[in-house]
A and B are shown apart, each in its own frame.
Chain A
Amino acid sequence: NAGVTQTPKFQVLKTGQSMTLQCAQDMNHEYMSWYRQDPGMGLRLIHYSVGAGITDQGEVPNGYNVSRSTTEDFPLRLLSAAPSQTSVYFCASSLTGDLDEKLFFGSGTQLSVL
């Protein structure tokens, strides 16, 4: 059972470039989300989805787009990369979005924007 799989593990971009961070889960989870983790700061929610075709903004959504066409996949798109988006990005999923559901995290994508 692979769990939550993120690709790529590392990425370097130039300012203004666009790219997509991939996230897939094989646990039939309805709830999926994207976080960024920066030194000296906690994990911050970027976007989340409670099911295919449904997405919503989190705490820091600016500069990022998401879509959820299938239950399994939840890609995160950077439209025009900026140095402020240098961070480690984590995808996480849970069976539902209920309060007591366990959240499973992927291994992360380390992104550097020059």
Chain B
Amino acid sequence: QKEVEQDPGPLSVPEGAIVSLNCTYSNSAFQYFMWYRQYSRKGPELLMYTYSSGNKEDGRFTAQVDKSSKYISLFIRDSQPSDSATYLCAMKSGGGSNYKLTFGKGTLLTVNP
């Protein structure tokens, strides 16, 4: 079983839809959970991060972590064509400079006008 599983999609939705992106993980040592957004031919950029179970909101984006189920989600409300990108979940374990950062494979999202 891979440490981080992410449905690669692709996912295609109409503008204004609510989008749900998900990852599961098997390593209980993961302490820090992130979502990165990657536009075509660009490097990933950090979108949201959290280290506790529960929800964290930032504008149209909500990150949700359920440590008991080893499941994280990213919700995008009122999706826009500019949200079209690949979304990568990432998880950190360890401490100091010897942390381990594991990425999911990414989900390709297209928001159609």
Chain A interfacial positions (CB closer than 8 Å to B):
4, 31, 40-45, 50, 90, 92, 96-100, 102-103, 105-108
Contact = CB atoms under 8 A, between A and B. Distances in A.
Contact of A107 (B42, B98, B101): B42
Interface in B43-96: 43-46, 49, 51, 88, 92, 94-96
A39 to B, nearest CB: 9
Nearest to B106: A42
Interface in B11-52: 31-32, 41-46, 49, 51
A31 B101 contact: no
B97 interface: yes
Given A41-B105, A42-B104, A98 B96 contact: yes
Size category, B interface: 20 to 34
Contacts of A98: 96-97, 99
Contacts of B104: 42
Contacts of A102: 46, 49
Nearest to B102: A42
B103 A43 contact: yes
A21 to B, nearest CB: 13
